[in-house]
Amino acid sequence: MAKVQLRNLTKRYGDFVAVDDFSLDVADGEFVALLGPSGCGKTTTLRMIAGFVEASTGEIRIGERDVTEYPPYRRNTGMVFQGYALFPHMTVFENVAFGLRMRRLGAAETHERVAQALKLVRLDGHVDRMPRQLSGGQQQRVALARALVVQPDVFLLDEPLSNLDAKLRQEVRLEIRQLQQALGLTTIFVTHDQEEALTMADRLVVMDRGAIQQVGSPAELYDRPVNRFVADFIGHSNFFNGRVCGPGEFKMDTGAIVRFDPEAATPQGDVSVAVRPERISFGHSPAAGTINCFEAEIEAVTFAGPRLDLILRCEGDRIIAHVHNSDGNVATERHHVGEQGFAMWSPSSTRLVSR
């Protein structure tokens, strides 16, 4: 395995910029997820690393090699495709052995390594099956084994779970993570499913319209989003527009003042205030010592299992508050539409993000 360095990668299709000045260092053995909405350039980035898409500008290094000009078959990457792309005319064994045969390994070693790889993905009983005789999950594991058996420098996965049903997805997710950690695989994983990214990756790269928005650990991205896009894409956030009017003070467009932690980093330019729904509480009277406390009225109540979602009208905006369903009473009976009260949150839950 090896580290991967991407320097100012850009891909243009005519005037359209699919990937815009993308720079990232992936450490040896690190698991990085590329996350973003559809069409943001995740696949394009991954395919530039694999060599299927030629970078318009920029540089790609895998280990100590500058592979920017290399054709795909000389990059030694291991890719798992969204539709698996198994060779339909070859058995499971032949599929997994393909990469080794291309590397002209001896028959004995090929057999041994294929058996090992199939064992790793728990498919050792199926060597002679054709791909069409396997379930989706099994095909997925053949694709993993096929990519891993050649000992690639970097493991590339493009939405490998999107064809699986929800339950299987959970399982395979865990398996991939375990494999990755056990083998110390440098892994770049593309997904548009934030839960997948948050639970699997060491580090997340959030992309929008071809450009990196923020890079960080799951917790960093969740608790300290740098902009409104990240705050909203990772989890949900309520936003209030306005401007900073003093240290730790933000004046909303309605004139009301929201207080935030003056120690926290303040972004440049136009800013908004972002507050996570689970940090907002709703009560009939201001709780003692609450600093941010605004009149609010319940517009809708939704039951969501472990919690209640309250849709509030507050400072002229519609915001969401999550209330925990912890006391076991029939939760919806505690709150009703039209109920008047206060929405409250602490300054440390108030984040400034650029717009």
Ligand X SMILES: Nc1ncnc2c1ncn2[C@@H]1O[C@H](COP(=O)(O)OP(=O)(O)OP(=O)(O)O)[C@@H](O)[C@H]1O
Q: Tokens representing 23?
A: 């720079």
Can you tell me which of 15, 38, 73, 285 binds another protein, judged by CB under 8 A?
73
Residue 36 or 216 having the CB closest to ligand X? 36
Among the listed ranges 21-29, 41-49, 245-253, 259-267, the one in contact with Mg ion (CB under 5 A) is 41-49
Residue 211 contacts residue 222 (beta carbons within 8 Å): no
Can you tell me which of 8, 23, 39, 171 binds ligand X, judged by CB under 6 A?
39
Q: Least distance from C-beta 42 to Mg ion, angstroms?
A: 5
On the CB side of 275, how many CA atoms lie within 13 Å of its CA?
29
Should residue 15 be labelled a site residue for another protein when binding is judged by CB under 8 A? no
Site map 97..126 versus another protein, x via CB under 8 A: -xx--xx-----------------------
Can you tell me which of 20, 52, 209, 266 binds another protein, judged by CB under 8 A?
52
| Residue among 17, 27, 95 at smallest CA distance from 62 | 27
How much of the chain is in helix, strand and coil states, percent to nearest 5?
A: 30, 35, 35
Q: Least distance from C-beta 104 to another protein, angstroms?
A: 10
Q: Which does 18 bind (CB under 5 to 8 A by kind): Mg ion, another protein, ligand X, none?
A: ligand X
| Integer CA distances (angstroms), 218 to 194, 197, 225, 296, in order | 10, 8, 10, 32
Residue 137 contacts residue 172 (beta carbons within 8 Å): yes
Residue 36 or 218 having the CB closest to ligand X? 36
Query: To 5 degrees, how large is the angle CA 219–CA 220–CA 225?
Result: 120
Residue 208 contacts residue 36 (beta carbons within 8 Å): yes
Should residue 132 be labelled a site residue for another protein when binding is judged by CB under 8 A? yes
Q: Which does 141 bind (CB under 5 to 8 A by kind): Mg ion, another protein, ligand X, none?
A: none
The DSSP code for 337 is: T
CA end-to-end distance (rounded Å), the chain: 39
Report the distance separating Cα 122 and Cα 169, nearest Å.
16
Should residue 43 be labelled a site residue for Mg ion when binding is judged by CB under 5 A? yes
Q: Least distance from C-beta 95 to another protein, angstroms?
A: 9
Should residue 161 be labelled a site residue for ligand X when binding is judged by CB under 6 A? no
Residue 13 or 87 having the CB closest to ligand X? 13
Q: Which residues sit at the interface with Mg ion, rule CB under 5 A?
A: 43
Sites of contact with ligand X (CB under 6 A): 13, 16, 18, 36, 38-44, 192
